[in-house]
Structure 1
Amino acid sequence: MLAALAASLILQAAPRDTSLRAEVERIAAASGARIGVAVVRVETGESLLSVRGGEAFPMQSVFKLPLAIALLRRVDAGRVRLDASIPVTAADLRAGYSPVAERWPNGGGRYTVRELLRLAAGESDNTAADLLLPLAGGPAGVTRQLRALGISGVRVDRGEGRLALDFRGVAYAPGREAKRVSDSLAARVSAAGRQAAFEAYLRDPRDTATPDGMARLLVLLARGRLISPSSTTLLLGMMTETPTGPNRLRGLLPAGTRVAHKTGTAGDVGGVTAVVNDVGIVTLPDGSRVAIAVLAKRSARGTEAAERAIALISRAVYDRAARPRRPR
């Protein structure tokens, strides 16, 4: 029932704006990355653009958005409390970006679920995300919730700890997700091993999203169809206040434009950046909104070039979507 309702909420526009498609394809071609884009008007469900919309791209930290939704659905159901206190041990710390790990290098801290949610969804903290994942039902539980809501093309399979091991070419074993162990083992991986892991990661169907699937998720979130009104307000606020990705979706938009978004990034191997993503909801001058998902992989020119492409695409979409629509 929920899946059928969700599917009915997004319509396909025909014909789509060919000039916008041409501009986005030009930007993508010049970026040195493989880029997928989907754009949907939130209020009407009109699809403005889909470029490689059905192709799977690695999410990286974009996965923290479906994680947050799954967690808040459990909060809404009374199964998880936002004020519950969660201890942080050394075994919980994760490699990569994590203010929690920086503050508590030996563990010992405590955070409420609300604080961990802000750190994961707002600041993209890897430790916070993995602490919340079991409360959200684990990777399989998050994906099951997405399917029940009618969202296809988005899948969560691993936490940040396991993903870091796989990306860096370290064989998984229990306990290796901990930051100190993961970092130590990764330092021993040869250049050839890192390159092989990099290529395997980009081929891996796990923890991926299609631009179309992610745009659907964003539209349903913006419409309040996924979680309660209070949870929707909480999550969108965290996504709007985030300091991450200033040069991506919001990088070239007019000052003061409201953007609720979630970034995702993977590192460089041999001068090529694996992933540079940003997905979000942009509010236009008339108060209407557009959902934009821009997913980029294998950026041969590095992170900054991919970020510039995302910003240019976002601005092209903004200029097109903000244009007064002709009556039909």
Structure 2
Amino acid sequence: MALMALTGLAGCSSRVIPPARTQAPAHIPPPVRFAPVAQPRPAEAPRALNAVVQSLGAGFDGQVGIAIRRMDQPWTIQFDGYRKYPQQSVSKLWVAATLLDQVDRKKVAMSDPVVVKKEDLTVFHQPIRSLVGADGYATSVAGLFGRSMTASDNTANDSLLRTIGGPEAVRRFFAEKRIEEIRFGPGERLLQSRIAGIEWKQEYSQGNAFYTARANLPMDKRQKALEAYLADPIDGATPVGIVNALVKLQRGDLLSRSSTLQLVAIMRASKTGPQRLRGGLSPGWTFGHKTGTGQELQGRATGFNDVGILTAPDGTDYAVAVMIGATRKSIPERQSLMQAVTRAVIANHRP
């Protein structure tokens, strides 16, 4: 019955449903083809600057490492920049940074009192020695900080080193801040006596006692000690490692903003080495730095260094390190090399 009903319904309809009319397709525009977005090319080191650096390094009669890094770009120019060179007093910069890190952590205050006594005296350059009387010399952490960084006073620096917890405190700072390719030595007295080939005695801190003890050593022993130091300096650092650390400092990756500004300001106030890298400055450029100078033996100079932050009039910063491991060149010739590096950076600067 259901089938008959369906058949009847189908037969009752005589209307024919015409097929749907197909309209002409509208005009379809061709697909839009976008040009690929040009990716910015990574900044390249100035070729002219690189050529000058390679020429200066290769043409210098001695062991020299050079590194330059523009802080707002990823490139680094270097000549033998991955060899470890003796830092000497460049290492005072790391004592200062560790100190300010402890100031940031409220472990130390710049106003903390310190008394420097005769048993605290070290060796070589220590202008503070003339102030140390029978009762010592009363000063503060800030006072020692200023003397260490602006005058490179060895005794002031070693006193700060004791304040912050010794060499291990600096090495912990390196590890925490991921500062690589920089070593820190045992402190001025042990470092310099080891380089000379003698064992430290506190009496060497007075007058010319250290020079006399060193001069009394057989020459072959002195040469052997110096060669061992140059081959694997206990305070060694690579120029590339140093410029990378300076970039971290300037970017605020090591210290608080106030401590960063304080450290950079005192680097600019440094009075040492005015004819090293600073001697090549042009008007409007500034330079904050730390120098280092090692021992000499039979006309061979070691550890003649200058590292710092070079700032253009437009505010662009460069980290620069020139480290002379060993040479027989005169001081003016060493200074001339450093000044040439500064002038090359300035000549090739583009805002």
1:268 maps onto 2:291 in alignment: no
Relative to the length of structure 2, the TM-score reads 0.82
Give the secondary structure class of the aligned counterpart of 1:70: helix
One-letter amino acid of the counterpart of residue 67, structure 2: A
Report deviation, 1:192: 2.8
Whole-Å Cα distance in 2 between the matches of residues 18 and 105 of structure 1?
56
Residue aligning to 1:303 = 331
1:145 maps onto 2:173 in alignment: yes
Higher Rg: 2
1:219 maps onto 2:247 in alignment: yes
* Unaligned stretches of 5+ residues in structure 2: 1-41
Residue aligning to 1:323 = 350
Residue aligning to 1:66 = 94
Whole-Å Cα distance in 2 between the matches of residues 139 and 123 of structure 1?
21
1:96 maps onto 2:124 in alignment: yes
Matches within 5 A, 1:231-246: 231-246=259-274
Q: In the alignment, is the contact (CA less than 8 A) between 1:62 and 1:263 conserved in 2? A: yes
Q: In the alignment, is the contact (CA less than 8 A) between 1:274 and 1:298 conserved in 2? A: yes
The C-alpha deviation readout for 1:84-110, integer Å capped at 9, x for no partner, is 111111111111111112333767112
1:121 maps onto 2:149 in alignment: yes
Aligned residue pair count: 310
Q: In the alignment, is the contact (CA less than 8 A) between 1:282 and 1:290 conserved in 2? A: yes
Q: In the alignment, is the contact (CA less than 8 A) between 2:69 and 2:243 conserved in 1? A: yes
Residue number among 59, 71, 86 corresponding to 1:30 in the alignment: 59
Report deviation, 1:187: 3.7
Q: In the alignment, is the contact (CA less than 8 A) between 2:124 and 2:154 conserved in 1? A: yes
Residue aligning to 1:162 = 190
Relative to the length of structure 1, the TM-score reads 0.88
Residue aligning to 2:78 = 50
Whole-Å Cα distance in 2 between the matches of residues 192 and 126 of structure 1?
28
1:171 maps onto 2:199 in alignment: yes
The C-alpha deviation readout for 1:281-306, integer Å capped at 9, x for no partner, is 01112111111111111112133322
Q: In the alignment, is the contact (CA less than 8 A) between 1:275 and 1:299 conserved in 2? A: no
Report deviation, 1:199: 1.3
Whole-Å Cα distance in 2 between the matches of residues 256 and 93 of structure 1?
40
Q: In the alignment, is the contact (CA less than 8 A) between 2:101 and 2:255 conserved in 1? A: yes
The C-alpha deviation readout for 1:120-172, integer Å capped at 9, x for no partner, is 11211100110011222311220121121111001102101111111222124
CA RMSD of aligned residues (A): 2.1
Q: In the alignment, is the contact (CA less than 8 A) between 1:17 and 1:48 conserved in 2? A: no
Q: Percent identity?
A: 34
* Unaligned stretches of 5+ residues in structure 1: 1-12
